[in-house]
Structure 1
Amino acid sequence: MNSKTQPEQQIDSTEQYRVVPIITSFLIAGFIGLFSETALNMALGTLIRDFGVHETTVQWLTTGYLLTLGILVPVSGLILQWFTTRQLFGTSLVFSIIGTLIAAIAPSFAFLMAARVIQAIGTALMLPLMFNTILLIVPPYKRGRIMGLMGLVISFAPAVGPTLSGLILNNLTWHWIFWISLPVLVAAFVFGMVYMQNVSTLTKPKIDVLSIVLSTIGFGGIVFGFSNAGESGWGDPLVIGSIAAGFIGLLLFTIRQTRMKQPMLNLRAFKYPMFVIGLVLVLVCMMVLLSSMILLPLYLQTSLALGTFAAGLLLLPGGVVNGLLSPIMGNLFDKFGPRWLVIPGLFIVLGSLIGFSTIDVDTPAGFLIAMHILMMIGFSMVMMPAQTNGLNQLPRELYPDGTAIMNTLQQVSGAIGTAVAISILSAGTARYMDTAADLANPQTPLLAFTSGVQDAFIFGIVVAVIGLIIGLFVKRVEVAHPGS
């Protein structure tokens, strides 16, 4: 036996893994990473004032983060086969800790931007590692429950992030968003290094430099182009050039992977129909979710003139409900499969989007909270069941590639959804202003902005309808149970 792969091969039964401590390590690290990300979004206005930068510049804190993920996550399928679970877990948290520390003491925008990139490197390593580890140590008939537990933490962190950041910004500086996160990350590192086990078998496939270059150009170009389209406009030469280069790079990358004996990213995963359907449903959800997450705070703070804390508080119930329902949906998935969750869930999401498309400057807070709760209930019924069912169909050797594909395309779909929503918002606002009768009325810009928000939610309705049609074809992947 090769000594380099022996640590991973010592444990040949999933029952011998310390599943609870391993999952706990990932939950702590994932929670604080997502918390700091959404908490910082609420501080963008403060950062613009503190650093004296423009809105298009501060957007790079998000664009740079997404771009780093878009470049590194596709390579994760290769990385997972070269380094042990403990090595990758420790490395990802070291990057997250260093990035968080730099952000906490950042004296300038450039330092904060560098910190965000370093944090993103940690996240790019952690996300595929987390899902791949779950697939390896949890038997298929129990995965819904564990994925539901992951959903509880992953959903709760973005939900409380804006509310807690509003509290922090009311009493302290934005630096404390990172100072509060830092000790938790250190604790996650120490806990993980004590309990984390090596669960994968290292195959160390050949590193193909050209594939890495094409992947970087392809995914990086698309994420960069779409992320900038919302601000710069679709006609901007840099946007057009980036998206075009991205699609060409992606095409060449795909052709190369299909012709290689040992591809960097094994695209055979697309031969499994439930994986493809699950992937598309997750992408639909991410597109709608991330576009809504940028539209709703803008609407609340512009059209309704709410402060950051009040806006975050209004969105808190939906996020909490989503988190609390995730473990329940995981158990229901294990018992009944995805079909009886996904289809009703998509109908609920569609209904909430129709409700959001009717909002105006006089919409009561109760209606907004109810629609947001409905939307998050729908997402809890679709995302984790669709993702788990899709990954369950893959053979063990394709787990790293399947998780890399799913995590990469989530970043791409999120960037596309956000860019399209912002573009529709801007176009709708401009169209209203062009036809407005009384431009001197101070209410006119607010009415115009609200009209743009309504148009952007119609885009979400279209995407949800597409998802609903695809969801009709979802079927349960049969998995082996003990004693079967």
Structure 2
Amino acid sequence: QGLLAGLIQPLAMITIFQVFPLNRRGQAMGIYGLGVVLGPAIAPAIGGVLVDTLSWRAVFLVVLPACVIGMAMAWRYLPGKDRQLAAIRLDRAGVLLLAMGITAVLWGLANGHRRGWGDPLLLVTLPGGIVSLVLFAFWQRRNPQPLMDLRVFRYPGFTGSFLMSMVIGAGVFASTYVTPLYFQQVLGESAASAGLMLMPAGLAMAFTFPVAGHLTDRFSETRIMMAGLVLFVLNMVLMAGATLTTSAVWLVWWTLLGRVGLGLMMPPSSTGALGLLPPALIPQGSGIFNFARQIGGALGVNLCALCIQFFSDRFGQTDPAASLAQAFEYGFDRAFWLLLIVFLLALWPLHAMRRGLIRKLL
């Protein structure tokens, strides 16, 4: 599922850059993004109802009609293979090293608290994953047809764009993971109720995308991203300061605020990153940019889950009389602070991206 979904996003961005002129790419990216996030906006509510009324297995069936329609439209409208392009061989060694490295690191982070950081398997897995990623980087520099063309990082600002993509991915996926769990484990809401509480925020994010894309064609990408960053940081501050007595209505509004912030950041981050590269490197840049977002999302979810588990357990040990909801609230507050710190640190890569875009204009 992840393998095939991972093929779609970079190809969609490449198609947009090939079809639309420079002054329309932001708008096109915004409309594309509307489709990307509209599903996650309504899916939690539908999924919650299916879980409560049928079974958790039913959530895997709801995507099938959309997949069939998507395949039919792709067959009708998308262009086929360009026969004039030279065939490119798949970098199998690169795929193997990257898969081993990412799997080992993410598995180690996810299981460290449960197994204990001194577990012999973890002491082998985590360093082994890091070594695999280092070997992958060296191999990409030597391979004439690399899986990831690292030359994109030579262009000023692209490293900042890469890091910003990781941060945005962490914000999107981690907040999507943490917020509904907060509603269920701290407020005691059902899965269906938690999904419905998230729907306004998801819809707000979806309809922010076209607006952000429209603004990207008229204003600096980094200014729009800064506005989104401020909104998301404010959302994390408010969520971290919430208590068991905070009204659910306020929590819904605060979540909506953060989703609007993420919606403002995503289209300009994409157009800005690929705008830093020459046309020949846009396909590679698109793949690397989307890779950064997915990796950031995976790391964000793992680190937030680890943070919630660690601090909830610690609170329960220091205050045995505390309720389970109080312990969970303590853990969730620390996860919100973690995301807050990550987004504040993103000011540096955002500045680097801004300098690269200014240099490209000059």
With structure 1 as the length reference, what TM-score do the two structures score?
0.69
* Mapped contact 1:285–1:379 kept (Cα < 8 A): yes
CA drift at 1:207: 4.2
For structure 1, which runs of at least 5 residues remain unmatched after alignment?
A: 1-118
1:325 aligns with 2:208: yes
1:190 aligns with 2:69: no
1:353-372 map, 5 Å: 353-372=236-255
The structure-2 alpha-carbon separation of the partners of 1:238 and 1:127, relative to structure 1 and needing over 3 Å to count, comes to farther
1:246 aligns with 2:132: no
The structure-2 alpha-carbon separation of the partners of 1:412 and 1:179, relative to structure 1 and needing over 3 Å to count, comes to closer
* Mapped contact 2:159–2:349 kept (Cα < 8 A): no
- In 2, Cα distance between equivalents of 1:285 and 1:231: 28
Tell me the equivalent position of 2:347.
468
1:165 aligns with 2:47: yes
The structure-2 alpha-carbon separation of the partners of 1:369 and 1:230, relative to structure 1 and needing over 3 Å to count, comes to farther
- In 2, Cα distance between equivalents of 1:240 and 1:412: 22
1:454 aligns with 2:333: yes
Counterpart secondary structure, 1:202:
coil
* Mapped contact 2:152–2:158 kept (Cα < 8 A): yes
1:123 aligns with 2:5: yes
The structure-2 alpha-carbon separation of the partners of 1:231 and 1:140, relative to structure 1 and needing over 3 Å to count, comes to farther
Tell me: higher relative CO, structure 1 or 2? Use CA pairs within 8 A at least 6 residues apart: 2
CA drift at 1:196: 1.4
Counterpart secondary structure, 2:244:
coil
| Identical-residue share of aligned pairs (%) | 28
CA drift at 1:237: 4.0
- In 1, Cα distance between equivalents of 2:68 and 2:349: 42
* Mapped contact 2:152–2:281 kept (Cα < 8 A): yes
* Mapped contact 2:171–2:262 kept (Cα < 8 A): no
1:199-214 map, 5 Å: 202-214=85-97
1:70-469 map, 5 Å: 119-198=1-80, 202-229=85-112, 232=115, 234-436=117-319, 439=320, 441=321, 444-469=323-348
- In 2, Cα distance between equivalents of 1:371 and 1:213: 42
- In 2, Cα distance between equivalents of 1:363 and 1:425: 19
The structure-2 alpha-carbon separation of the partners of 1:175 and 1:278, relative to structure 1 and needing over 3 Å to count, comes to same
CA drift at 1:254: 1.0
Letter of the 2:80 counterpart:
N
CA drift at 1:125: 2.1
* Mapped contact 2:240–2:336 kept (Cα < 8 A): yes
Letter of the 2:65 counterpart:
P
* Mapped contact 2:160–2:349 kept (Cα < 8 A): yes
CA drift at 1:234: 4.4
* Mapped contact 2:165–2:269 kept (Cα < 8 A): yes
* Mapped contact 1:217–1:246 kept (Cα < 8 A): yes
CA drift at 1:479: 12
CA RMSD of the aligned region, Å?
2.4
CA drift at 1:170: 3.8
The structure-2 alpha-carbon separation of the partners of 1:136 and 1:231, relative to structure 1 and needing over 3 Å to count, comes to farther
Letter of the 1:319 counterpart:
G
Q: Can you list the C-alpha shifts for 1:408-451, whole angstroms capped at 9, x where unaligned?
A: 22222222111211121122112222221xx3x5x522111111
1:36-55 map, 5 Å: none
- In 2, Cα distance between equivalents of 1:308 and 1:360: 20
* Mapped contact 1:234–1:240 kept (Cα < 8 A): yes
Q: Can you list the C-alpha shifts for 1:220-272, whole angstroms capped at 9, x where unaligned?
A: 33343334446555444444433322211111111122123333321001112
- In 1, Cα distance between equivalents of 2:292 and 2:120: 24
- In 2, Cα distance between equivalents of 1:167 and 1:285: 29
With structure 2 as the length reference, what TM-score do the two structures score?
0.91
* Mapped contact 2:157–2:276 kept (Cα < 8 A): yes
* Mapped contact 1:347–1:468 kept (Cα < 8 A): no
- In 2, Cα distance between equivalents of 1:383 and 1:240: 37
* Mapped contact 1:230–1:422 kept (Cα < 8 A): no
The structure-2 alpha-carbon separation of the partners of 1:227 and 1:140, relative to structure 1 and needing over 3 Å to count, comes to farther
Letter of the 2:185 counterpart:
T
Q: Can you list the C-alpha shifts for 1:324-359, whole angstroms capped at 9, x where unaligned?
A: 111011010011121221112211111111111112
- In 1, Cα distance between equivalents of 2:91 and 2:301: 32
* Mapped contact 1:429–1:449 kept (Cα < 8 A): yes
* Mapped contact 2:110–2:306 kept (Cα < 8 A): no
- In 2, Cα distance between equivalents of 1:418 and 1:235: 22
The structure-2 alpha-carbon separation of the partners of 1:291 and 1:362, relative to structure 1 and needing over 3 Å to count, comes to same
* Mapped contact 2:169–2:295 kept (Cα < 8 A): no
For structure 2, which runs of at least 5 residues remain unmatched after alignment?
A: none
* Mapped contact 1:230–1:419 kept (Cα < 8 A): no
